[in-house]
Amino acid sequence: MKFIHTADLHIGQVLYQNYGRTDEHDHFFSQLTMWCRDHRPDALLVSGDVFDIQQPGAYVKEDFTRYFVTLIDECPDMDVIITAGNHDSASRLHADRRIWKRSKVHIVGLPPVSDPPEDSDEWMDDFIIRLEAGYVVALPHMTGGRSLTVQALLDKVAAENTEGKPVVMMGHLTVSDADVTGHDFTIGNIKTTDVKDMGTGYDYLALGHIHRPQTIGHQEDVFKDDVIYPSGVVRYSGSPLHVSCDETYPHSVSLVEIKERGADVDIHLLNVDQLRHFYVLPENPDESFGSSDEALKAVGAFVHDRKSGYFRLRIAFDAAIPSDFNQLIYDAIKSSGNEVRYNPKVIWTGVPQESRREDLVFEVADLQQMTDPMEFVGKTLDRYQGLDLEDLRKMFMEVEMEVKAMKEDK
């Protein structure tokens, strides 16, 4: 069985409230389509976070359709298996599954119930995808432990699999031992799952959720183009795009080949060419700007020299920054025609101890960049240990009432 494993597409992502990434996704999907055409995999697996938000706009859904219809047209023999991640609306993805299935696109949005009926196996057919070349147990993002459910699915496959075909499972979660560097992401993920709870009986566990590509237990091989491991691989393909400015490492999709159940797993990285890169100015990590003029000058040079990319600034804490600084930056990059893109979250250097409050509060830019409400809840809980959720709820209700009263005053 040969398949391409990817995850965390985040189609429709808008960065820094300003910048749509459609052309970056277009660029990725044209590479993916080419790889599928060239390598002729039996299946393409997308392990969750297809969309960036739960209710993507019409044009985003249209992009999704365009990408996958092109893939189907180019590779009519290939099965596509898409599961929901925590960013997706499980029920919305699930709702369209029947029509996609006619084109060999299998969508699994809703997770299995935590207490499956004992007298019937029928529910399993939503999660076991039987391909000519092997089996795929397609699990979407799940909250709460489902280890019995997962093992029941794997046992069912084991009983059926008399020909010894490869068995692949998909999931969207943080497993313990994953390297989450570059990820400032905490939610749903406050909890990690012991990989043992994902059962036994698969050759390859195709995971999504962590954007850094990695095979659990083999961190040292992280960016090697070709590796071979014994059966039972647990791997994050990583996201195809840099989803945040902290993910400047190389991104790829994984081309995986497994000859039969229990055989070695052959992994080949297909490296994604990025349309736009992420930068910090000054580019020398030991330097920071001492004044707004210095920063503006460097931004002008960046527009002139690089012509394209996302950047954020590193500025000395004691530099005098005018109140319209952000507007000056936006003016300075205007001529790039939206090619040069500004992340207004400044990296401050030389912050005196008494002013270090980043652990206690959110900056406005932090809040603007949280697309998942659960991310806010999780980060709040992380930062304010011992916080009473009931207190928080009351405060939100007070704010809500005040906002309402303000509206009525108008």
Binding stretches for Mn ion (CB under 5 A): 49, 85-86, 209
> Smallest distance, Å, CB 15 to Mn ion?
17
Nearer to Mn ion, 10 or 314 (CB): 10
> Smallest distance, Å, CB 198 to Mn ion?
16
Nearer to Mn ion, 32 or 173 (CB): 173
Nearer to Mn ion, 8 or 42 (CB): 8
Report CA dihedral (402, 406, 407, 410) to the nearest 10 degrees.
170
Nearer to Mn ion, 49 or 375 (CB): 49
Nearer to Mn ion, 21 or 209 (CB): 209
Are 7 and 211 within 8 A, CB to CB?
Answer: no
> Smallest distance, Å, CB 10 to Mn ion?
9
Cβ atoms < 10 Å from Cβ of 178: 22
> Smallest distance, Å, CB 83 to Mn ion?
11
CA-CA distance, 152 to 135, in Å (whole number)?
14
> Smallest distance, Å, CB 48 to Mn ion?
6
Question: E-strand spans in 85-225?
Answer: 105-108, 128-130, 135-138, 167-172, 204-208, 214-215
CA-CA distance, 245 to 278, in Å (whole number)?
6
Angle at 266 between CA 261 and CA 269, to 5 degrees: 140
Nearer to Mn ion, 140 or 344 (CB): 140
> Smallest distance, Å, CB 172 to Mn ion?
6
Residues 6+ apart with CB under 8 A from 13: 20, 21, 52, 241, 243, 371
- Strand-strand pairing, 347-349 and 340-342: unpaired
Nearer to Mn ion, 131 or 245 (CB): 245
> Smallest distance, Å, CB 371 to Mn ion?
11
Cβ atoms < 10 Å from Cβ of 97: 16
**Residue where the block lists tokens 């985003």:** 60
DSSP state of 182: T
| Amino acid identity for residue 204 in this structure | Y
